[in-house]
Structure 1
Amino acid sequence: MTTKIENLASTLGRVLGEGATVTSALGEVTVLVKAADYLAAMATLREHAELQFDELIDLCGVDYLSYGEGTWEGARFAAVSHLLSTVHNWRVRVRVFAPDDEMPIIASVTTVWRGANWYEREAFDLYGILFEGHNDLRRILTDYGFIGHPFRKDFPISGYVEMRYDPEQKRVIYQPVTIEPREIIPRVIREETYGMK
């Protein structure tokens, strides 16, 4: 007797064919799709009668720069989507890697799920992933003058610029970060009887 997860995995493998790799672990099914097949696969996941993933629950960016403590050898940036089929009560995770690390471009799925609009804008803003075909790809969480993408693993913890109010100019200004990096060493107490009075 096959379980619900095994049934979903076999259905996904049969419907998507060789353009996708289907794996299951810890009670969850993940589909890895090539960037060239991504938009067509997502449309198939939504429209195919045996799947009917009618709801996009989430879409986020991922930076694999230091994944596995630096042992990762694949592409750096990915978009990960979580889909729900309300008809079949199935959930699936779809992962697609951008083929170019310098200019990560992935097809937009806003034509498949309109709700992907703000998710893709967030992934663009925080990771710098460009979604080809998105009609309004602009920053959503950081300021329009913000430099860089703050969720990238190589983004400095203190950032590049800081914002402050200048009373002489009577406006908010940006200036290079003035915080000096410092190493904080924790205080360690090595008395065996500490706190035992």
Structure 2
Amino acid sequence: MAKYRINGIALLTEFFLMALALSIVLGAIAYEGKQQLVAWVIGFPTIGFLVLLIIAELAPSLLKFTRAFGVSEDDAPEQANSSQMESGTWRRVGIVYGWLVGYFISIFFLGFYIATPIFLISFLNIESKLKLSRTIGVMLVALIPFFIIFRIILDIPLWPGILPKLVPGIIGGGSIPPLT
């Protein structure tokens, strides 16, 4: 059995994100009502997931626990040539950033309510190669609580997209969000 080495870059990134999430949660104390609640709804789950990631990084034996979430020792197969591994890693990063940019562009045009289900179905079918029935199940499990928390409980209207502004009268009205 090979000795496990801690990935310093991943650990540093996780601690940086933890500091960011903690600053969001602690900064929310200064606010009241929905503003505080929104920061906590985003901040506390983020902190929880980051704690799990940090523990899994420091104690690799916990990978057996995380295997249920799709993580295994085989996720990064060993390669003989480090340049092959580096080029493969950068290719993967490029693919992920492509999906991320595509998601942001689709949110701008279609809005959260339409873009997010389309994105989840596309991503899970193409990248994860998940069956359509499971993809729809994952999408519903992810989006129903999101919709309930932000739209029903917090009464925060989500961005409807610019498409209603471009095609008025057919699908309603929209506006460009202020970027200042």
TM-score normalised to the size of structure 2? 0.26
Task: Judging by fraction of residues, say which structure has more strand.
Answer: 1
User: If you compute each CA radius of gyration, which structure gives the higher value, 1 or 2?
Assistant: 1
Task: Judging by fraction of residues, say which structure has more helix.
Answer: 2
TM-score normalised to the size of structure 1? 0.24
